[in-house]
Structure 1
Amino acid sequence: MAAAVVAAVTTSVSPTDAEAERSGTEDELRDVVAEELAAAAVAVAAAAAGPPNRLVKLPLARIKALMKADPDVALASQESVFVIAKATIIHIDTRSSGREHTRLDCLGGSNRRFSMSASAVYVLDLKGKVLICRNYRGDVDMSEIEHFMPILMDKEEEGTLSPILAHGGVRFMWIKHNNLYLVATSKKNACVSLVFSFLYKIVQVFSEYFKELEEESIRDNFVIIYELMDELMDFGYPQTTDSKILQEYITQEGHKLDTGAPRPPATVTNAVSWRSEGIKYRKNEVFLDVIESVNLLVSANGNVLRSEIVGSIKMRVFLSGMPELRLGLNDKVLFENTGRGKSKSVELEDVKFHQCVRLSRFENDRTISFIPPDGEFELMSYRLNTHVKPLIWIESVIEKHSHSRIEYMIKAKSQFKRRSTANNVEIHIPVPNDADSPKFKTTVGSVKWVPENSEIVWSIKSFPGGKEYLMRAHFGLPSVEAEDKEGKPPISVKFEIPYFTTSGIQVRYLKIIEKSGYQALPWVRYITQNGGNTNI
């Protein structure tokens, strides 16, 4: 069908629907829902010539009853209900931002498929041996995984290794973590980006449970891992993937026999699955950190070859109840839309939000509105590809003398404003492997020789802006060597500058709204630090 079907329901069930669910027979319920699906198909046909996204209402109680009567027709989870009838796919999204409000979702007609489905998930060791696996759909032979490692090795030898491998009609989507391979299989036309996102989510959840995810931790925690895999995915569709929620009812303690049926925590079936209800604090506070890492690569003649800023906004939330937070940034798109284009603004790229953020609100007015998880989490991350001058500029002069010695003169200059100060600065300078008899002289800080790393480390506890310091080092060499033609490793710099951001991003406001009306204290902090690649 050319048009899309949108089915919307609320999580509340009317008394009439509840009575129909209890009293109706399976055949009657199947007939009732079949009629409603037929009516939905008519609505879709009518919508094909009119406006798209025609709204079709279906009672949730009858859908659930149909699922009990014929589980092959429908699929339910805490977040979604899928009903399939002929070529029509109807998706009921039971997640909502309020008690009676339901977010509408849209799926295409016959040319579209579900955006995410995995037949099975495997965890393999480096030799390709299956450590643990879970078959979710039963449409792929579990022995198909035996073809994965031979194909992987062949592709690696050919130099054509891909994150997606195929054998027959089966696709293998895989990632490697430490000494493990995580593999998802599928016969369907699945959205691979979502499959990979789910595999990385498995790594995150397992790592938070077992500290280190490796072969030994898999072997030592079979029971818990099977429980987690059952909760993470159902029939090939992701379910509860928040580790904080999973830890409420899947623990690493011994399991006792319980004759009663276990009840899931309220958060699993809650409209806001990432936050528990009934949270109380004597003092309500929110801590927000804007952390930016600067990645720089500078050539020997002082030209910046590559520069980027990788930022994240991390929060620690200690708030009672179910608060709503609204965060405003000096976002360039927002300022242009509101006629403040000349104001100081930042153009954010590659923005990634936590699942709690209402994306529709952000798209409309660039306001970051969300109900936060309890405790610590990363609200968003971003990146800026922009020209950045080195915050700490390094100049080095290296002299080799004929009497088997080498001398270094290192000058460090801070290129940021005087009111800011860099803390815990470390300048790593590579030296020859056979250097010995070190002698150091510096105007500030301390210098240490690290022979196992063939480097000297110049440490400066506090480096104010606009300052310049000098360090000299002298080494003896056991023999006179020819000039090194292979080049020298770069000098790397580590630092942290509080109350400072390279990009100029600013928090314009942080509002806390809660129905009880309590007063909360928001705290905002800015930190700039070296990235993983700050080389000169």
Structure 2
Amino acid sequence: MASAVFVLDSKGKSLIARDYKGDIPMSSIDYFLELVQEKEDQEGAAPPVLTKNGVVYMYLHKKDIYLVATAKTNVNALTILQFLEQLSKVFTTYFKNLEEESIRDNFVIIYELLDEMMDYGIPQLTETKILQEYITQESHVLELQQRPPNAVTNAVSWRADSIFYRKNEVFLDIIESINMLISSDGTVLNGEILGAIKMKVCLSGMPELRLGLNDKTMFERNGRETRGKTIEMEDVKFHQCVRLNKFEKDRTIMFIPPDGEFTLMTYRLGIQISPLILCESVVETHRGRVEYMIKAKAQFKQRSTANNVEIIVPVPEDADSPRFKSTIGSVSYAPEINAFVWKIKQFQGSKEGLLRAHFGLPSIRGDAPAKRLPISVKFDIPYFTTSGIQVRYLKIVEKSGYQALPWVRYITKNGEYEIRMTEPLKLTNQSRLPKI
């Protein structure tokens, strides 16, 4: 795996380094920043993995810090990049800010962390909560316990075995973000669902959890009849606590969870989906002014409600003297982003809203810009998922036999959700837009 790990400043100077194997000269890091700049000059951006003179450089750039791992060829670069990402999270947890000054102030504890998190170039203990039990920091002074917590030597390194709660509970959130680009006539040009199952675990001891979803592949593999809607997840990624061999065998999600909050899994669905909120736009340009009419439609079921809806409509940079009128919600001008924002606190399914906006324009101006920015929409819809994913069961087993309460919540929210605007109508007479 990795031969050495370096923390560099913005000029490529080594602040701290740890040599794990001794098979690559530590002076090889001197070529790193030069190699990055060379790739940026050639390609505009440097990839996260670079090679020179038989040395592989894998790195992350965080603020004014470079985290770099070197290795010989034929290395699992993705694993090392994930380790560097986790290393940055651990540093941020310990020092609050990952920057040159915090690195210089904490050399001793950083060396201890590097020793515990990697052994002979192989990632070992990377869970922040467990590291904090083992390595503590007060006023830049390291305090080491007499013996490490059991989690360090356990097969379950992400959880201590002495956890106790008076009330045992599990909170499970299924959050789906909708990425969508919609044409001005309402046609979906591209769309996808990015999902995440997040958990907050307040359980005593060392419980084993088993999660069942309405997974189409699971039903097909077990030869069972499907009742209700099933989904086919793609690009599934799990937390390290999930037993992958069990999932690959029969699609069962079985795991011993970390304590507290964590993301159990993420997934993607590339299914055909309809717009949840659709905005129809009409734009009229006149001499010295421009007018907008936006109709917003909530195209989900009437029993659901979208909260904190924001419809962001771009306007020309030189627009002034805004006037608004809407049938629902409130509208404000945001000159810092050259847009006006239509806010609807609660937008019930199957409902519509209408807005008219008027802006003054300079008397002398050229044609409308060739590239018109799209309307952006923000929202969150509780108790609703676009994909139809459902938790069939969540079983909790612990040797003491206590009863635990599982709570499940579904949320759908916007990702990159954009709607293209119609081309403006150029008029010189009275506005044709209806009054509201």
Task: Determine if the alignment matches structure 1 residue 215 to structure 2 residue 103.
Answer: no
Aligned match of 1:179: 64
How much is the aligned-residue C-alpha RMSD, in angstroms?
Answer: 1.9
1:178-257 matched pairs, under 5 angstroms: 178-254=63-139
Shift of 1:272: 1.4
Aligned match of 1:375: 260
Task: Determine if the alignment matches structure 1 residue 390 to structure 2 residue 278.
Answer: no
1:121-140 matched pairs, under 5 angstroms: 121-140=5-24
Question: Which of 429, 434, 454 is the matching residue for 2:318?
Answer: 434
1:57-206 matched pairs, under 5 angstroms: 117-159=1-43, 161-206=46-91
- Residues 69 and 80 in structure 2, CA contact (< 8 A), matched pair in contact too: yes
C-alpha separation in 2, matches of 1:211 and 1:483: 50
**Comparing both structures, which one devotes a greater share of its residues to strand?**
2
Which residue type is aligned with residue 152 of structure 1?
V
- Residues 118 and 236 in structure 1, CA contact (< 8 A), matched pair in contact too: yes
- Residues 323 and 515 in structure 1, CA contact (< 8 A), matched pair in contact too: yes
C-alpha separation in 2, matches of 1:311 and 1:380: 8
* Gap runs ≥5 in structure 2: 421-436
Larger radius of gyration: 1
Question: Which of 281, 286, 306 is the matching residue for 2:190?
Answer: 306
Which residue type is aligned with residue 187 of structure 1?
K
Shift of 1:291: 0.3
Aligned match of 1:88: none
Q: Which has the higher contact order (CA 8 A, sep 6+)?
A: 2
- Residues 184 and 419 in structure 2, CA contact (< 8 A), matched pair in contact too: no
- Residues 378 and 417 in structure 2, CA contact (< 8 A), matched pair in contact too: no
Cα deviation digits, residues 440-481 of structure 1 (max 9, x gap):
101111111111111111100000000000011111113232
Task: Determine if the alignment matches structure 1 residue 347 to structure 2 residue 256.
Answer: no
Distance change in 2, residues 1:476/1:220 (3 Å): farther
C-alpha separation in 1, matches of 2:114 and 2:154: 21
Cα deviation digits, residues 251-295 of structure 1 (max 9, x gap):
23137688x983111110123111111211111111000000000
Shift of 1:533: 4.5
Shift of 1:212: 3.7
- Residues 170 and 201 in structure 2, CA contact (< 8 A), matched pair in contact too: yes
Shift of 1:230: 1.6
3-state SS of the aligned residue for 1:352? Answer: strand
- Residues 125 and 131 in structure 1, CA contact (< 8 A), matched pair in contact too: yes
TM-score (normalised: structure 2)? 0.91
Question: Which of 374, 377, 380 is the matching residue for 1:496?
Answer: 380
Which residue type is aligned with residue 267 of structure 1?
A
- Residues 249 and 265 in structure 1, CA contact (< 8 A), matched pair in contact too: yes
C-alpha separation in 2, matches of 1:327 and 1:370: 9
Shift of 1:189: 2.5
**Comparing both structures, which one devotes a greater share of its residues to helix?**
1
Shift of 1:408: 0.9
C-alpha separation in 2, matches of 1:341 and 1:307: 26
C-alpha separation in 1, matches of 2:405 and 2:282: 51
Distance change in 2, residues 1:412/1:216 (3 Å): farther
Shift of 1:343: 4.1
Q: How many residues align?
A: 418
3-state SS of the aligned residue for 1:488? Answer: coil
Aligned match of 1:22: none
Cα deviation digits, residues 288-331 of structure 1 (max 9, x gap):
00000000111233322211110000000111111111100000
Shift of 1:177: 2.5
Shift of 1:361: 1.3
Distance change in 2, residues 1:534/1:208 (3 Å): farther
Shift of 1:235: 1.3
Shift of 1:414: 0.6
Aligned match of 1:281: 165
Cα deviation digits, residues 229-248 of structure 1 (max 9, x gap):
12111211111011111111
* Gap runs ≥5 in structure 1: 1-116
Cα deviation digits, residues 152-178 of structure 1 (max 9, x gap):
222222228433222222111222223
1:463-474 matched pairs, under 5 angstroms: 463-474=347-358
Cα deviation digits, residues 34-76 of structure 1 (max 9, x gap):
xxxxxxxxxxxxxxxxxxxxxxxxxxxxxxxxxxxxxxxxxxx
